[in-house]
A and B are shown apart, each in its own frame.
Chain A
């Protein structure tokens, strides 16, 4: 058999095998675990960049259970994802779409690849000299390079300045946490705080940190993790009045918002008001409970109006109360 025929035969065999392989694998039923696939696309709200499929946290497990239920009920992927993103603050899609603010994310690698291919082709057409001797220094190119360097430095400096400015503007809102002995806790991770509060459980000074930790959980909607901490503070006879009030009010709100228990919620907030009858947050939640839970809209309006007369009210809370007041006056449903 001549070399040529053998080559042709080999090519045919390779082609046939490749086609057979493609056909075989493409006809096999796709067996993907939809629950897992969806879980991988959602960031766990209380973790550091982990998806809910990979996180061991109770909140992620709850969310995965929800995904399983919805998948079993035949809800579409998008429907499940929308529900998760809507009901868990801090849950973020880990699979950014190739549009809007994440378009550049998808485009950049393509551009980089195209650029790389372009540079290689350009180099092929405009090669340097074959000798290894350095080219004689050309004054013009040197100036050009120096200019380039200066532009580079300025660009970097600009980025750093803008970045640090835009960062410094905002930490305050994230840092609104109470502190243990006046320490700044905003850079302390949840895990560290858990460890510290557990290790110092008998120390009344730790209530501040415990509360800060609970507030973090509360803000992202992780009531399950927040609950025991609030409870411990509320039950601690050595807790300061402010700490106890905050804990009781939060417990009340979680009882209403999480389980719909209006009575329990009202009782807890009343306990808080017994400690501090002028607590803005307790009065506010009490009014919300009257409005949303008991349907006593008029009394709620009265309390809202009373609260707004307080000159010490911070603008953000005031805006929230005003919005609620307007809605309540218009006879709207509580949000």
Chain B
């Protein structure tokens, strides 16, 4: 029943998507057609599909092969809900739902028969939707029924909803790592909103190219969607790092893993695009470049999905054995070849950029920022795909890991930070002589003084000092600019600096929202630098009642424990943490044992404090002794705070009402 319902939903969405393409094209040719009903059909179909999946999971309906293989009666809430995106087929249902929603919004914004660009964008969205809903009825069908039950799980399935069902009584449950932390329920949907949201600017860009109207209209109309996508992508990446830190028990948050890289690449491209889009809107430059960036950002989301979902990362050899791999790769090639061919055919219409008047200008700093971000994305791309390509073509196995990425990404990040200090204080077109010096000398002094202070008081700080100096420089430059603009206003008004600062921000909210994001990035950079340079580490073996001193704390092994939970058995030890003779906390580093999984999933115990975290990992536990890994993560919360701040800037700029002309005039005055 649910299999039928789900399949019907997918089919309805697919039909709706086909109609959107046909009617969208008809509208661009001057005809008239209703887009709203097919858009409603796509959204309703996607909702029904996700609803059927959720009902199946919540009611333990093991007739669905997906449920039989990824769910268990013991899976607790909310992980049974999250199981819907714990594996390939289900995650495509989620992808389809998000895409259906963005498509629906794009249709709502389409302004009738006269709006050809909107219609063309809808047609492109429909095309993308055809692909993803098409996957669901072919190579990644989430609603196959189980026709060959095992004791636990399902050995054979059929796409035909009315096939003779042979349902098992229980399933193995989702991957234990995915039912270990609440963040895993949130991280994928947030990330998917980011990925899928990038389809909207892509659709408008392709629409504009197809219609031969490559002016800034498409940028203006997709601006908000781009910001939504970027903000969610930021949030998703931050959640991913946080989850890894809380669950994966190695104390890190980022390992340049292909799955992580898959989310970083579109983020870098989208970040570059947000900046270069501004250059086109303000100065008419970089039109062609914006097309390249938006196509690349979208293609990178598909590439990321291909890399993480085709099994190619496990082994190049699994590529041809799962049909989803060739399907995604084919779609990627189609997107790239189709888009760039269209772009080449229309490039005579793309206005070439006027000469940049001075590199010491806002657009100049954006050019540098775009160059750095693009090279950054390229480094991640080549590092991720090089081993696959080399093995595919020559059979040679090489590994590319953290050492490679760090060696290139760290200097690039520092250059980006430096650019971030200059960009916001540099006016468009060109800065008057001496302006940058006047605006940046105080921030430079403050940054260096603070850096010296840190270098004198904290030992072992290493290259983290550079991150601190550049980070403080960026923040000080932003604050100094705000003060300067506010003080200029007080000369004419009788109001206080604070009130005027509020007015300055209100007048150009989008700009200041951007600066909030910049501050978030700085916090992340400083957090990374601390995490890389300052942690302490020790391995200890303790008997019950033993104590060790570590990082200013006294840790006492109190007792082992064992708890039976519905879906797992938890084994671990209680460790009392004292500081200055006072009990601060009791930590429980542990291992979770799930039915059907050999060995325990080691889960760290984390105590968060303003100065940093204490991070205990269970290494070995027997009758007499326990072996523990002890780590500190100094100021690791800077990373999570930074990620949230960066995303907040993005969300805030969505509500921005631009009254820029006033501000711009003031800046020009200030420059003179």
Residue ranges of A at the interface with B (Cβ–Cβ < 8 Å): 7, 10, 13-14, 17-18, 20-21, 24-25, 28, 30-31, 33, 36, 40-41, 43, 48-51, 53-56, 58, 92-96, 101-102, 104-105, 108-109, 112-113, 116-117, 120, 123-124, 127-135, 137-138, 141-142, 145-146, 148-149, 152-153, 156, 160, 162-164, 166-168, 170-171, 174-175, 180-181, 183-184, 186-187, 189, 191, 194-196, 198-200, 202-203, 205, 228
Given A10-B441, A134-B348, A187-B321, the answer on whether A113 and B390 have CB atoms closer than 8 Å is no
In contact, A109 and B378 (Cβ under 8 angstroms): yes
In contact, B386 and A21 (Cβ under 8 angstroms): no
- Pick the contact of A148: B344, B392, B445, B598 (CB < 8 A): B344
Q: Least Cβ distance of B353 to chain A in Å?
A: 5
Stretch of B247-255, B500-508, B549-557, B643-651 on the interface side: B247-255
Q: How far is the CA of A30 from the CA of B460 in the complex (A)?
A: 7
In contact, A152 and B598 (Cβ under 8 angstroms): no
Q: Provide 8 A-B residue pairs closer than 8 Å at the C-beta atoms, listed in order of the A residue.
A: A18-B448, A48-B314, A51-B402, A54-B248, A54-B252, A141-B348, A167-B319, A186-B321
In contact, A152 and B341 (Cβ under 8 angstroms): yes
Q: Is B49 an interface residue (CB 8 A)?
A: no
Binary CB contact string for chain B from 436 to 460 against chain A (1 if under 8 A, 0 otherwise)? 0100010011001101100110011
Q: How far is the CA of A198 from the CA of B153 in the complex (A)?
A: 11
In contact, B352 and A14 (Cβ under 8 angstroms): no
In contact, B321 and A184 (Cβ under 8 angstroms): yes
Given A101-B398, A113-B371, A200-B152, the answer on whether A25 and B378 have CB atoms closer than 8 Å is no
Stretch of B77-85, B461-469, B517-525 on the interface side: B461-469
Given A13-B445, A108-B378, A152-B337, the answer on whether A135 and B397 have CB atoms closer than 8 Å is no
Residues from chain B with Cβ under 8 Å of A146 in the complex: 344-345
Nearest CB to that of A173 among chain B residues? B317
In contact, B392 and A137 (Cβ under 8 angstroms): no
Q: Is B561 an interface residue (CB 8 A)?
A: no
In contact, B344 and A96 (Cβ under 8 angstroms): no
Residues from chain B with Cβ under 8 Å of A13 in the complex: 445
Residues from chain B with Cβ under 8 Å of A148 in the complex: 344
- Pick the contact of B403: A94, A129, A186 (CB < 8 A): A94
- Pick the contact of A199: B153, B321, B351, B456 (CB < 8 A): B153
Can you add 17 more A-B contacts, CB < 8 Å, to A123-B356, A127-B353, A198-B596? A21-B451, A28-B455, A41-B403, A55-B250, A92-B399, A96-B399, A102-B398, A113-B375, A116-B375, A141-B348, A146-B345, A152-B341, A171-B320, A195-B172, A198-B598, A200-B153, A205-B150
In contact, A128 and B400 (Cβ under 8 angstroms): no
In contact, B375 and A127 (Cβ under 8 angstroms): no
Given A96-B399, A146-B345, A199-B172, the answer on whether A160 and B329 have CB atoms closer than 8 Å is yes
Residue ranges of B at the interface with A (Cβ–Cβ < 8 Å): 148, 150-153, 155-156, 172, 175, 215, 248-250, 252, 255, 257-258, 284, 311, 313-322, 326, 329, 333, 336-337, 340-341, 344-345, 347-356, 367, 371, 374-375, 378-379, 382-383, 386, 389-390, 392-404, 408, 437, 441, 444-445, 448-449, 451-452, 455-456, 459-463, 465, 469, 537, 595-599, 602
Q: How far is the CA of A10 from the CA of B444 in the complex (A)?
A: 10
Given A21-B465, A117-B371, the answer on whether A135 and B348 have CB atoms closer than 8 Å is yes
Q: Least Cβ distance of A113 to chain B in Å?
A: 5
In contact, A105 and B400 (Cβ under 8 angstroms): yes
Q: Least Cβ distance of B443 to chain A in Å?
A: 11
Residues from chain B with Cβ under 8 Å of A132 in the complex: 215, 284, 351
Residues from chain A with Cβ under 8 Å of B352 in the complex: 127-129, 135
Given A48-B314, A108-B378, the answer on whether A101 and B153 have CB atoms closer than 8 Å is no
Nearest CB to that of A213 among chain B residues? B598
The count of A-to-B residue pairs whose CB atoms sit within 8 angstroms is 250
Residues from chain B with Cβ under 8 Å of A18 in the complex: 448
Those 7 A-B pairs whose CB atoms lie nearest each other, nearest first:
A128-B352, A94-B401, A127-B355, A95-B403, A199-B152, A92-B399, A199-B596
Nearest CB to that of B378 among chain A residues? A112
Q: Least Cβ distance of B389 to chain A in Å?
A: 8
Given A92-B397, A123-B353, A163-B393, the answer on whether A200 and B320 have CB atoms closer than 8 Å is no
In contact, A175 and B375 (Cβ under 8 angstroms): no
Residues from chain B with Cβ under 8 Å of A191 in the complex: 175
In contact, B318 and A127 (Cβ under 8 angstroms): no
In contact, B460 and A187 (Cβ under 8 angstroms): no
Residues from chain A with Cβ under 8 Å of B320 in the complex: 164, 167-168, 171
Q: How far is the CA of A228 from the CA of B598 in the complex (A)?
A: 10
Q: How far is the CA of A145 from the CA of B394 in the complex (A)?
A: 33
In contact, A186 and B318 (Cβ under 8 angstroms): yes
Residues from chain B with Cβ under 8 Å of A198 in the complex: 595-598
In contact, B461 and A167 (Cβ under 8 angstroms): no
In contact, B344 and A174 (Cβ under 8 angstroms): no
In contact, B319 and A135 (Cβ under 8 angstroms): no
In contact, A109 and B379 (Cβ under 8 angstroms): yes
In contact, B356 and A160 (Cβ under 8 angstroms): no
Residues from chain A with Cβ under 8 Å of B401 in the complex: 40-41, 43, 49, 51, 94-95
Q: How far is the CA of A150 from the CA of B386 in the complex (A)?
A: 26
Given A40-B402, A49-B257, A132-B284, the answer on whether A187 and B341 have CB atoms closer than 8 Å is no
Interface centre among A25, A104, A166, A170 (most CB of B within 10 A): A25
Residues from chain A with Cβ under 8 Å of B389 in the complex: 163
Residues from chain B with Cβ under 8 Å of A94 in the complex: 399-404
- Pick the contact of A54: B151, B250, B316, B383 (CB < 8 A): B250
